[in-house]
Amino acid sequence: MGEIVRYKRDVWGEEVILGVSWDLLWVVAVAVLVLLAAHAIIMAALANKKMDKPSAEGRRVSRHDVFDRAFHWITALAIFVLIITGVAPIIGLRIAWLNIHWISGCILTLVVVLHIIRAIFWQDLKAMILSPTDFGEPFDSAQKPGKYSFEQKGMHWGITLVAGTVIVTGVILFLQIDTPFWDRTNSMAESQLGLMFLLHGLSTLALIALVATHIYFALRPEKLFYTRSMIKGWISEEEMAANHDTSKWSPKEAE
Amino acid sequence: MVATSHDVMPDIELYQPTDEENALALAATLGQEGWLLAGGQDTFGWLKDRNKHPSAMIELTRIDAWKGITETADGIEIGALTTLTDIVNDPLIQSRYSLLSTAASRVASPQIRNVGTLGGNLNQDARCWYYRRGLDCYRAGGNICYADSPEGLNREHALFGQSRCVAVSPSDTAPALVALDATMVVSSENGQRLIDAEDYFVGPAVDIVNMTVLRPGEILTAIRLPNTWANAEFYFEKVADRNVWDFALVNVAAAIKVSGGNIEDARIACGAVECVPRRLTNVESAIKGKARSEDTANQVASLASDGARALNYNHFKIPLMENLVKRAIRG
Amino acid sequence: MSGPTSTPFTSAYMPEALAQGAAEFGWEAKKGRARQRNGSKVTGLGIGQGYHNAGRSGMDGIVRLMPDGRLAVHSGVGNLGTYSYASTSRAAAEVLKIPWDRTDVIAGRTDNHLPMTSAQDGSNSIFTNTRTNFGAAQDLLAKMKEIAAMDLGGAAEDYDIENERVFQIADSSVGMTYAQVAQRGMELGGKFTGQAEVPEEMSEFSKLSVSRLAGSALMGLFKDSRHNNNPPGFVVTFTEIELDLETGKFEILELVSIAECGTVVHPQGLANQLRGGAVWGIGLSALERHLYDPQNGMPASTGYWQSKVPTILDTPLQITTGWVDLPDPENPVGARGIGEPAMGGVSAALNGAIADALGGHLFNAAPVTTDMIINHLAGTSESAKPLAQNNFRG
């Protein structure tokens, strides 16, 4: 295995950080595939012990507003485009990626900012807060979550941290290139620039792992109703009762 | 362990295949590590400056199959290893495609043309002095451009297609081949790829470290010129600081078909304004059907620089490019 | 060393040089061509004057008359394509009236036992080193006459030289050949062979050379005194160019350089210097930018590709040369130097011709490169920002 960090010589001949070693991309890809495959196999082995799936029929409750669903899918699309355009030149696909990449990055940043504002002022922020008791949830089948499960909260905050790093470093790197709004300045020391590239690269790798995990769980049969709720907005009352504690979460009935 | 000396040629495994199969097999085996060596006029500069360190070289000059100029059913085929001097002096090229012989005659100096090959002239690396200096810039795999900065010396750099890197296509023959609608024959162990001259070169937006679509394992083996543009009216001009032994500040190559006093069809390309030879399709279509005259030239010249974005010191390339296109159309 | 700002010139004949240049160039006939258009091209005329102070003094001279009668001139002067080693040594041969093919210039290596010589720079060689060789030859001549008087009677003043003989002025049949004089000097030794009375003021380096040569031949030694005024080197250049207003490129159609450098000692070497200086001047005014990347302090004019010395196609087909050839009073052979002025005259004339072709526009910079000309013509006013070249900028 190669090294984690790549180095280069700056204009003075000093060795500075160039960025992450993209050999790690393959390491991450293989590791995620192995872990998810292992999870799928274990779950398949345990499948017969599981109780029946709750029915999607009957009364429906609202889980995600149309705004939030739109936010999710715009975010998802932006991250997808960012990952594809960012990784393409690394794996040797020759496309004009940079403009698409920074435009998607701008969209992602904007959507994330709007989401933060909306979550703080118009939504129940507490529903997403991880409290110490949440950590007991995976080990106690009697303890049911409110709107979001421990795993969902974990995924949300994981992606928040990683995407936040990608966005912050991305915006800093964005300032270093020519755009229709400004010309590049070369004002950042090459060692700092390299550090930004390293953080951008490392967080990208983590993001790829998290996104892959997220998609995997979204497609798992027992979680598929959450995915449906992200498309259509509702879950059935039966699904809610099976997975959530109604004392902690009392959603409106869906139209 | 052998100590690294900076005063002698670096240790390089030199392969000197004498036939095509061997060369292609070596290219395939060595891949990224196999530096293709023809006339060496680009290579030895890199080595002399100690700024590239190839571990293996495949010298192509012993392969006769990739040399020489032959007539084909629909034009001519030029081996990529043909020297520029041979192209300048070839009667067939002189009579039918004088655009190329003229362009080749303006490359570098007589000494360089005597050993430099057409393939080498087309595949030579960017001449941005920051890059050639051995700095780890974008083109060298880094994440910064020293030329396109508020104080960067970018008099020779690009007006178009800048994407982080602002280096230009240094070749004089490349715009001529684009104007002649040439086809590049790219060979590898897997067979041949035929690529339009216009698509052979790539800019930094798509590939920031390579100037052509040539992949490891591939060799540019021949260039085909179609009959379509044989004996058209040609114009080539190169403006450089020096009249010999210099790279173009801007060059222009035009092939124009005139019938009944009017321009029937035209292909015009400029070098040294973009990372690839820049084909001026807007000018070409604007002059179609018009007389090849001073008036026509004056009307369309400003189209040539449409979309140009000047850097710190290369504003002069805009009027220069317009003037050269004007001269090309005027004849 | 004379300072050019503080001392009067030893002599100067610029009006003569200008008149000669104008005649050679055909100024009267050509001056009407200035700023004439021919298609996209326009003619520009330029006249330039080049100056550099061109002479030093205070160095040492060593010459030897060998037992076979040949003259050996020891010289630290080299050959930069200018034949300076020969032109400076010639002064000694002329003093001794000895044919050039009987003269050996001993040069090129320190272990050839050379006298202290001025560095070959700043156009000084011919002035500085003809003084020392002339002086050393005078010392040798005096010793030769002294030996003749000693052996043949009379006083040294009664003797003269001709045809490699020292003879009595009253009766030329009474005399000695150079070979006989040299052999007699070696018998006598002492001051005649550098074994005694070596001039005290000679440099340590020269004295070392003399000590190594001592006894080998009849020897002439000289420590040069200081000259008084400033010996100038002048060149006047006339040029005609044709500048293409569409490409910013120009062609030098004619170039005439006239030297005003005192008496001409070596016409071929002088013509070479004028032609070489012209190429140099073309580089200075048109091509050889000296650039640094200001953000990182990197030199950008590295290699022949980026420092752009002129190529043969950047120079005119013919460079016409000439000289005034009037002697300078502070040099024994009347000569002054010419290296740098040959460049300055051409550079100034070319800058003038470019300005003329552009209707009188002055860039106040050298070189004036293609991009600057195009920017001026296109009204971009010499690029959006001036090119940060580090040569000359007003």
Summarize pLDDT for B229-246 with one digit per residue, the tens: 999 999 999 999 999 999
Residue B4 lies in a domain: no
- Phi, psi of B239, deg, nearest 5: -110, 120
Task: List Cα–Cα distances, C119 to C47, C54, C128, C229, in angstroms.
Answer: 31, 12, 10, 20
Cα–Cα distance measured from residue B186 to residue B204, given in angstroms and rounded to the nearest whole number: 21
Select from A99, A183, A198 the residue whose CB has the most chain B CBs within 10 Å, as the one to mutate to test that interface: A183
- Give the residue with greater pLDDT, C390 vs C346: C346
Within B66-197, strands assigned E span 69-72, 75-79, 183-188, 191-196
Cα–Cα distance measured from residue B261 to residue B289, given in angstroms and rounded to the nearest whole number: 9
Residue B197 lies in a domain: yes
Residues C242 and C193 in one domain: no
Residues C75 and C134 in one domain: yes
Instruction: Please compute the mean of the pLDDT values over residues B196-211 and round it to a whole number.
Output: 96
Residue B88 lies in a domain: yes
Residue B15 lies in a domain: no
Residue C377 lies in a domain: yes
Nearest C-alpha neighbor of C67 from the set C220, C187, C149: C187
- Percent share of chain C, pLDDT over 90: 85
Question: Last residue of a domain, which of C223, C241, C260?
Answer: C223
The residue of chain A nearest to residue B148, with distances taken between CA atoms, is A184
Residues C211 and C310 in one domain: no
Cα A123 to its chain centre, rounded Å, is: 20
Strands C103-106 and A5-9: unpaired
Cα–Cα distance measured from residue C343 to residue C66, given in angstroms and rounded to the nearest whole number: 41
Each residue of C267-283: pLDDT tens digit?
999 999 999 999 999 99
Cα–Cα distance measured from residue C303 to residue B110, given in angstroms and rounded to the nearest whole number: 19
Q: C324 and C259 in contact (C-beta within 8 Å)?
A: yes
Residue C180 lies in a domain: yes
What's the pLDDT band for C391 if we cut at 50, 70, 90? low
Nearest C-alpha neighbor of C87 from the set C357, C271, C348: C271
Chain A residues in contact with B158 (beta carbon < 8 A): none
pLDDT of residue B1 exceeding 50: no
B151 to chain C, closest Cα gap in Å: 6
Regions of chain A with pLDDT less than 70: 1-2, 48-52, 254-255
The residue of chain A nearest to residue C295, with distances taken between CA atoms, is A186
A190 to chain C, closest Cα gap in Å: 12
**Cβ–Cβ below 8 Å for B136 and A10:** yes
Number of neighbouring beta carbons within 10 Å of residue A222 = 14
pLDDT of residue C383 exceeding 60: no
Give the chains touching B; criterion: ≥3 Cβ pairs < 8 Å.
Answer: A, C
Each residue of A45-78: pLDDT tens digit?
887 655 667 777 888 888 888 888 999 999 999 9
- Structural domain count of chain C: 2
pLDDT of residue C394 exceeding 50: no
pLDDT at B257: 97
- Phi, psi of B227, deg, nearest 5: -65, -25
- Percent share of chain B, pLDDT over 90: 92
pLDDT at A68: 87
C contact set with B (CB within 8 A): 40, 246-249, 287, 291, 293-296, 298, 300, 302-306, 308, 310-314, 369-372, 374-375, 377-378, 380, 383-385, 387-388
**Cβ–Cβ below 8 Å for A186 and C295:** yes
- State which residues form the domain around C312: 14-55+229-393
* 3-state class (DSSP) for residue A250: coil
Each residue of C230-255: pLDDT tens digit?
999 999 999 999 999 999 999 999 99
pLDDT of residue C384 exceeding 50: no
Domains identified in chain A and CATH numbers? 65-243 (1.20.950.20)
Nearest C-alpha neighbor of B62 from the set B76, B45, B79, B48: B79
Residue C9 lies in a domain: no
Chain B residues in contact with A197 (beta carbon < 8 A): 143
Strands C71-74 and C103-106: parallel
Residues C93 and C201 in one domain: yes
pLDDT at A1: 43
Residues C140 and C156 in one domain: yes
The residue of chain B nearest to residue A193, with distances taken between CA atoms, is B143
* 3-state class (DSSP) for residue A8: strand
* Token pair recorded at residue C130: 């003809």
pLDDT at B2: 46
Of all helices (H) and strands (E), which one includes residue B198? helix B197-200
- Percent share of chain B, pLDDT over 70: 98
A14/B contact by beta carbon, under 8 A: no
What's the pLDDT band for C4 if we cut at 50, 70, 90? low
A197/B contact by beta carbon, under 8 A: yes
Q: Which residue has the tokens 């400029």?
A: B270
Cα–Cα distance measured from residue C140 to residue A137, given in angstroms and rounded to the nearest whole number: 115
pLDDT at C325: 97
Instruction: Please compute the mean of the pLDDT values over residues C85-98 and round it to a whole number.
Output: 97
Residue C238 lies in a domain: yes
Residues C209 and C102 in one domain: yes
Strand partners, B69: B78
* Token pair recorded at residue A105: 């990055």
Q: How many CB pairs under 8 A join B and C?
A: 100
**Cβ–Cβ below 8 Å for C378 and B318:** yes
- State which residues form the domain around B270: 69-330
Residues C211 and C332 in one domain: no
pLDDT at C211: 97
Nearest to B143 among A11, A18, A185 (CB): A18
pLDDT at B10: 81
Residues C173 and C46 in one domain: no
Chain A residues in contact with C295 (beta carbon < 8 A): 186
Nearest C-alpha neighbor of C383 from the set A3, A246, B155: B155
Instruction: Please compute the mean of the pLDDT values over residues C371-390 and round it to a whole number.
Output: 73
**Secondary structure string (H, E, C) spanning chain C:** CCCCCCCCECCCCHHHHHHHHHHHHCHHHHHHHCCCEECCEEEEEEEEEEEEECCCCCCEEEEEECCCCCEEEECCCCCCCCCHHHHHHHHHHHHCCCCHHHEEEECCCHHHCCCCCCCCCCCCHHHHHHHHHHHHHHHHHHHHHHHHHHHHCCCHHHEEEECCEEEECCCCCCEEEHHHHHHHHHHHCHHHHCCCCCCCCCCHHHHHHHHHHCCCCEEEEEECCCCCCECEEEEEEEEEEEEECCCCCEEEEEEEEEEECECCCCHHHHHHHHHHHHHHHHHHHHHCCCEEECCCCEECCCHHHHHCCCCHHHCCCCCEEEECCCCCCCCCCCECCCHHHHHHHHHHHHHHHHHHHCCCCCCCEECCCHHHHHHHHHCCCCCCCCCCECCEEC
Chain B residues in contact with A186 (beta carbon < 8 A): 144-146, 149-150, 152
Q: How many CB pairs under 8 A join A and C?
A: 4
pLDDT at C107: 94
**Cβ–Cβ below 8 Å for B151 and C369:** no
Each residue of C131-172: pLDDT tens digit?
999 999 999 999 999 999 999 999 999 999 999 999 999 999
Question: Last residue of a domain, which of C223, C252, C273?
Answer: C223
Residue C211 lies in a domain: yes
DSSP, res B211: S
Residue C72 lies in a domain: yes
CATH number of the domain enclosing B231:
3.30.465.10
DSSP, res A139: G
B contact set with C (CB within 8 A): 49, 109, 129-130, 133, 146, 149-153, 155, 237, 239-247, 249, 310, 312-316, 318-320, 323-324, 326-327
Residue B13 lies in a domain: no
ipTM comes to: 0.94
The residue of chain B nearest to residue A91, with distances taken between CA atoms, is B207
Each residue of C169-227: pLDDT tens digit?
999 999 999 999 999 999 999 999 999 999 999 999 999 999 999 999 999 999 999 99
Residue B54 lies in a domain: no
pLDDT of residue B130 exceeding 80: yes
Question: Last residue of a domain, which of C173, C191, C223?
Answer: C223
pLDDT at C40: 96
Instruction: Please compute the mean of the pLDDT values over residues B49-72 and round it to a whole number.
Output: 95
Residue B218 lies in a domain: yes
Cα–Cα distance measured from residue B228 to residue B232, given in angstroms and rounded to the nearest whole number: 9
Residue C291 lies in a domain: yes
Cα–Cα distance measured from residue C50 to residue C232, given in angstroms and rounded to the nearest whole number: 10
Number of neighbouring beta carbons within 10 Å of residue B292 = 19
Residue B161 lies in a domain: yes
A12 to chain C, closest Cα gap in Å: 8
Chain A residues in contact with C299 (beta carbon < 8 A): none
The stretches of chain A forming alpha helices (DSSP H) are 23-46, 66-87, 98-121, 150-174, 190-219, 224-232, 237-243
Nearest to B315 among C298, C312, C380 (CB): C380
- Structural domain count of chain B: 1
CATH number of the domain enclosing C81:
3.30.365.10
When the pLDDT of each residue in chain C is averaged and rounded to a whole number, the result is 93
Residues C70 and C193 in one domain: yes
